[in-house]
């Protein structure tokens, strides 16, 4: 794993440049996308680059990592809504080629064929990840098998607390999600992970210095052949 340390602004720019390079090299790239606070700067940079004509997303396909069970795609805390608001509505992407797991209706059937669907598109070329304070990636919480594919997951108590900042009340945070599994993520050809802030320091320490164990889901990335970890000084503070 490579590590890049810089301000949130700088690492967001660097990751956006990786996406731009990827799409300019292969216009029909398959991009793996994340939600949450961490990738917001990256998406803002991609919107800007698209508006400036430095990159076109018209032929890309995207697959998002996860979705809360119980929220319609129109709910303002659903991950489909997040992606539309923060990226898709502002770039020249074909929305029919954007995939976000469903959180309602036939969500189980959709989840079951998600990995196959990714394969049909040729596999993920570039995947962006955030990381939970407990070391989760996507919604793969501690104890998730390393060989997991897309599945239904229970959110850890710490994740519910972390994510409650975005809801009116903690009781509104869904307790379950559909998520790509750890194996689904490891299948991506290239991975970039972004983490900022002191509350990610322990997870980053465990990722970079800890043993590979299912108790720390992100530690599986130690085995990925092309994975770069982008952190700010706070997230990196326990490693130095
Ligand atoms: C979101 C996701 C999660 C987040 C993680 C960090 O699609 O997969 O694993 O990346 O919970 O969230 P933030 O960036 O909000 O701290």
Diameter over CA atoms, the chain: 47
Residue 92: predicted pLDDT: 98
* 240 part of a folded domain: no
**Mean predicted confidence (pLDDT) in 17-30:** 98
pTM of the predicted structure, to 2 decimals? 0.97
User: What CATH code is carried by the domain that includes residue 224?
Assistant: 3.40.50.1360
Residue 30: predicted pLDDT: 98
* 237 part of a folded domain: no
Q: What is the pLDDT of residues 169-201, one digit of tens each?
A: 999 999 999 999 999 999 999 999 999 999 999
Give the number of domains in the chain: 1
Q: What is the pLDDT of residues 87-115, one digit of tens each?
A: 999 999 999 999 999 999 999 999 999 99
Give yes or no for a contact between 195 and 235, defined as CB atoms under 8 angstroms apart.
Answer: yes
**Mean predicted confidence (pLDDT) in 206-217:** 98
Q: Which of 115, 141, 162, 232 is catalytic?
A: 141
* 236 part of a folded domain: no
Region of residue 123 (phi > 0: left; psi between -120 and 50: alpha; otherwise: beta): left
* Residue 66 annotated in active site: yes
Q: What is the pLDDT of residues 115-137, one digit of tens each?
A: 999 999 999 999 999 999 999 99
Q: Is the pLDDT of residue 232 over 90?
A: yes
Q: Please list the alpha-helical segments (H only) found in the chain.
A: 8-25, 40-51, 79-86, 107-112, 114-120, 157-163, 182-186, 201-209, 233-236
* 151 part of a folded domain: yes
Q: Which of 66, 67, 115, 232 is catalytic?
A: 66
- Decide: 132 in ligand 1 pocket, CB within 6 A: yes
* 149 part of a folded domain: yes
* 238 part of a folded domain: no
Q: Is the pLDDT of residue 240 over 90?
A: no
**At 62, phi and psi to the nearest 5?**
-130, 150
Residue 235: predicted pLDDT: 98
* Residue 141 annotated in active site: yes
Residue 178: predicted pLDDT: 98
* 161 part of a folded domain: yes
Q: Which of 38, 178, 182 best tests ligand 1's pocket when mutated (most atoms within 8 Å of CB)?
A: 38
What single DSSP character describes residue 155? P
Domain containing residue 44:
2-231
**Mean predicted confidence (pLDDT) in 69-73:** 96
**Mean predicted confidence (pLDDT) in 58-68:** 98
Q: Which of 37, 101, 132 best tests ligand 1's pocket when mutated (most atoms within 8 Å of CB)?
A: 132
**Mean predicted confidence (pLDDT) in 206-231:** 98
Strand, helix or coil for residue 141: coil
What's the alpha-carbon Rg for the chain, to the nearest Å? 17
**Mean predicted confidence (pLDDT) in 51-74:** 97
Cα gap 66→1, rounded to integer Å? 24
Residue 107: predicted pLDDT: 97
Give yes or no for a contact between 84 and 113, defined as CB atoms under 8 angstroms apart.
Answer: no
Cα gap 33→222, rounded to integer Å? 20
């Amino acid at each position: 794993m490579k590590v890049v340390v810089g301000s949130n602004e700088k690492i967001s720019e660097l990751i956006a440049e990786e996406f731009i390079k990827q799409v300019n090299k292969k216009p029909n790239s398959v991009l793996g996308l994340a939600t949450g606070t961490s990738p917001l700067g990256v998406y803002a940079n991609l919107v800007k680059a698209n508006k400036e004509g430095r990159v076109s997303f018209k032929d890309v396909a995207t697959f998002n990592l996860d979705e809360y069970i119980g929220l319609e795609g129109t709910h303002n805390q659903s991950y489909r809504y997040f992606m539309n608001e923060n990226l898709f509505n502002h770039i020249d992407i074909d929305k029919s080629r954007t995939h976000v797991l469903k959180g309602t209706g036939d969500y189980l059937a959709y989840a079951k064929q998600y990995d196959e669907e990714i394969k049909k598109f040729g596999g993920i070329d570039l995947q962006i990840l955030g990381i939970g304070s407990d070391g989760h990636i996507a919604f793969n919480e501690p104890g998730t098998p390393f060989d997991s594919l897309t599945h239904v997951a229970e959110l850890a108590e710490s994740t519910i607390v972390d994510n409650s900042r975005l809801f009116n009340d903690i009781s509104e945070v869904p307790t379950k999600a559909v998520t790509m599994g750890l194996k689904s993520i490891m299948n991506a050809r290239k991975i970039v992970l972004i983490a900022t802030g002191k509350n990610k320091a322990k997870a980053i320490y465990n990722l970079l210095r800890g043993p590979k164990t299912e108790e720390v889901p992100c530690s599986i990335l130690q085995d990925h052949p092309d994975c770069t970890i982008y952190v700010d000084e706070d997230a990196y503070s326990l490693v130095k």
